[in-house]
Amino acid sequence: MRKGTVVRLKGFRLLAFLSNNSILVILTLLFVIGVTLGTFTCQKVSLLQTLSEGYLQAFTGRRSNPSFLALFLHSFMSSMLLMFLCFALGTSIFGMVLSPLFFAARGLLYGSVTALLYSTYSVKGIAYNAVLVLPSALFFILALLLAVRESVKFSMMILKITFPSTGGGDLSSDFGNYCGRYLVLSALVLLSALIDALISCGFAEKFVL
């Protein structure tokens, strides 16, 4: 097979993937935009800076004298609260708009906290972010990304059956699937909390800000 044909096939597969996963692509772009805005506007927007400082202060405070069980429970419960909010948004026709905005706002906060760590603590802040913040955050962001996708899809189903031309519909089985997918995603949140507690207990005392 000639090189040009291989390139065209790869390009076609990429376009097909993007087309089949358009919601995930859009949500990822929104999150990246949020992170970028948070990184560059942290010190320019007083409210964002205040929120970031409060988040960082609470984060470091809980790790000043870390207890594995306490950290695990707090990390899991706080993350599940955000997942529940996302779940609730998906049960409304407004969820297809509010859920992505909620995800982008989370990216805004992550970007702002990262910028605050670097601007305040320089290299030490980068190391703190890389060791204590990012490992568990990556798993939670993945869980939240997939959760928001489910919320957007279910919200679109609700919107679709509200139009008279569709003749209504029964979403009971779809809602059961919706709950089931969130239940599966809770395993990622559980893993994120476990990683957070393990890393914090193992390295928090070595990375004191």
Q: How far apart are CA 196 and CA 179, in angstroms?
A: 25
pLDDT score for 169? 64
DSSP letter for 130, please: I
Tokens at 140, concatenated? 């939670």
Q: Along the chain (209 residues), what's the average pLDDT of each consecutive run of 10 residues?
A: 51 65 91 95 89 92 86 95 96 94 95 93 91 94 96 92 66 90 96 95 83
DSSP letter for 169, please: -
pLDDT score for 64? 81
Domain boundaries, the chain: 22-206
Q: How far apart are CA 111 and CA 119, in angstroms?
A: 12
Tokens at 153, concatenated? 């899809």
> Which one-letter amino acid corresponds to residue 95?
G
